[in-house]
Structure 1
Amino acid sequence: MSEMPLFERLEDDDHGNAEPVFRVSEVNRAVRFMLEDHWPSVLIEGELSDVRRSKGHVYFTLNDEEEPAQLRGVMFQSDVRRTKAALQDGARVRFRGKLSLYTARGQFQLIARSAQMAGEGDLAAQFRKLRAKLEAEGLLAPERKRPLPRLPRVVGVVSSRTGAALQDIMRVAKERCPVKILVADCRVQGEDAPRSIVSALELIQRVDDLDVVIIARGGGSAEDLWAFNDEGVARAVAACRVPIVSGVGHEVDITITDLVADVRAATPSNAAELVVPEREALLRDVRSLERRLSQAFDNRIGGLRLRLERLLRPLYGARRVVVPVRREMAALEERLWHASRASLRTRRERHAELHRRLMRLDPRTVLRRDQRELASLSAKLRDAGRLPIRRERERLLELSVSLRGRAKPLIREARGSFAELCTHLDALSPLRVLERGYAIALHETTGRAVRSRLEVDAGDRLRIRVSDGEFGAKVEKT
């Protein structure tokens, strides 16, 4: 038992009273020795995944094809050189080796000595079968791949909100160029991951101004990435209305989603680099376009200048004819200028004279002049008429006083004659006769006075007037 000091200490301590305390390294070494003693040579078969090589050694994960179980393993360089088996993801391999424990990490593992191919693994077969199906439908055809937008404004990311992949995408996008990033959270591992990825992809497409989508997950084993080999996820990626970039796992990891997507990125960070343009690169492109535009403009101007020179070349010989004509035209122009100035001066003087005459005959000028004359005459008339009016007023006052003195006797005499006439008229008035008891009968219809009984008939209505009024009467008989 010298190779297992831990268990020797356990046996010794059974006779003591104190409970033993062990270090982690002691426990790991004891377990390693026990595994290597009890399982020195074992034959194990399974499907390979996560195969990677380092310094000639091969590290892998062996998967059970019937139950969810995994076993880490390693084959050292000397054994790798002897084996003829193709150690790659998806291969079904039968290993012979011993079970051990990697004490530094406490990791249970298989140390393989030899390997023999046992056929294709179930996961690899499923991958190959689905790939062939989608390829037959044309979903993997290069001609259906869409180009990425050159300057995206809104980038959708379908990934786990808590994963490192999202953080890498956000960091790289921020470093390259500011864009709007919308995240659709989903599960990226486990049985519910495919349904969650499809739902997140459908949700992100509801954004109207969405330009491109990144579907991403960090590295992991083949089983960890298996959700991205799901047929439903692949069809959802193919049906995405905008270009989609797949950044799942590392560069060596290939999934169905990578094959269906418009662009495959080696890593999530590389996906962000492919989607988000670099600010400096954009500035270089703009400066390059400016130079090209300036050069094209200069070339165009130069070409037009040459064409113009060719068109004008035949006209250079006509200068000998044109120069005398130009001199004559200049002389005629000078004569015309002097003549036009003289004519213009005459017309201006004529216009000024007509303006003066018009101003003299202008009704407003005449009216203002007449108003001034009227005001002057009115003032003179007021001054000239005040004295005669005063004299006439005094004379009228004297005549009024004289008239009053002379009219009083005449008025008294006239009043006496008037009273006498009134008395005589009153004596002759019919009303005086009525006061003595007489009455006057009047026809009611004609209003005429009845002077004889023959003028009335029985039944006639009469109005009888007396001294203090009148009343009606009816003739009974005549």
Structure 2
Amino acid sequence: MSEIKYVTVTALTKYIKRKFDVDPHLSDIWIKGELSNFNLHSRGHMYFTLKDEKARIQAVMFAGANKSLKFKPGNGMKVLIRGEITVYEQSGGYQVYVKEMQPDGIGSLYLAYEELKNTLQKEGLFDPIHKKPIPKFPNQVGVITSPTGAAIRDIMTTIHRRYPLAKIILIPALVQGDHAKESIVKAIKRANQIEGMDVLIVGRGGGSIEELWAFNEEIVAREIFASSVPIISAVGHETDFTIADFVADLRAPTPTGAAEMAVPHFSELLDRLLDRKNRLKRTMQEKVSSKRERLKHFQTSYAFRYPKQLYLQKEQQLDIIVERLLKDGQRAISSKKDAYKSINNRLKNVHPKEQINRSKDAYRTLVNLLNREMKAVLSEKDAQFQQMIAKLSALSPLKVMERGYSLVYQDDKLIKSVDQLKIDQQIKVQFMDGKIDCQVKGIEERTVNE
């Protein structure tokens, strides 16, 4: 009987976990269900149970993944999630590591939102270079929203409290429903036709994604982008982001926040004015004090106390300056005269006639030198030539032949030894005054020493 091998719980759990981890169907899976036992940990992680009518599974969404959520999850909420199934070894239970989450029922809206957002972003509608500045002190503030909602009350109350000088112009519009997008576009067009409109607040209070959807419509986004009046988007609450928020010149987290961004605070302006007034007053006092000190200095100066003596001194100084000026003028004139003479002499020296005469003299001198040099060279070369002729004559074969010597050729080849000849061979003998044809009849050799 073979021995039974037992495995530890840890080994079994690790084995099961590896099975889960390598299964491609469990590494990236979409699940729909209802949230329960939801718990937001102090470190930002979300722990909850995902359930339906017949089953449940534990799930966790770590802080790195849930920080980009556009909604706040809670118990009883139906959601769509994407994640991976794995085994938590310490408890031996399987659970879902959630990567993405969105409320159930708006999946198609969310996809449409992302698609339009990407399209408009590629076209440059979100580019900061197109954002128009919000005026600091607007005279007219337009508000495009529902006239019966809480948003208009918050905006008007905030503007009246902060900056009562501004005139509020309400341009009513539907902010939810099937015809909301056309109503918002019409209101923006109308606001741009109102003379003196400085800034527009476009928005509404919070709500579900379906209720806010009018501000995710393409025609609304393009109308906001085309507006010549700067627009502050104030849609929903701080966590709600719509396409209008990205296209608008400025995004406010709430309608109240939009009102605060649109106008300055009156008390803050007053404080700034008082501060500027005090700074201006101090500056003026310092300027007056400085000028007073300067005037006092002038009043106590020598010129004010003894003007006659100062005048006489200046007269004496003027005489000295005039005398110095005359001397300097004379020196300058004398220097210019000397310079003129020098230049005149130089001009005479470089006059064409003088240059021609000097060139003629130089030419004659050079010709004489050249003649003498040529005669000397010719004489020297002639002597050298005669010496060379004498040497050549002494070495010439003709001179030797004059003394009775001759040259022997065989087929135009000079014969230098009897070894080159044979009996009866035809040869030529060159004398000084001609050649003769001969035939070898005998050969007599002798040694060099003989």
Structure 2 length-normalised TM: 0.47
Over alpha carbons, which structure has the higher Rg? Answer: 1
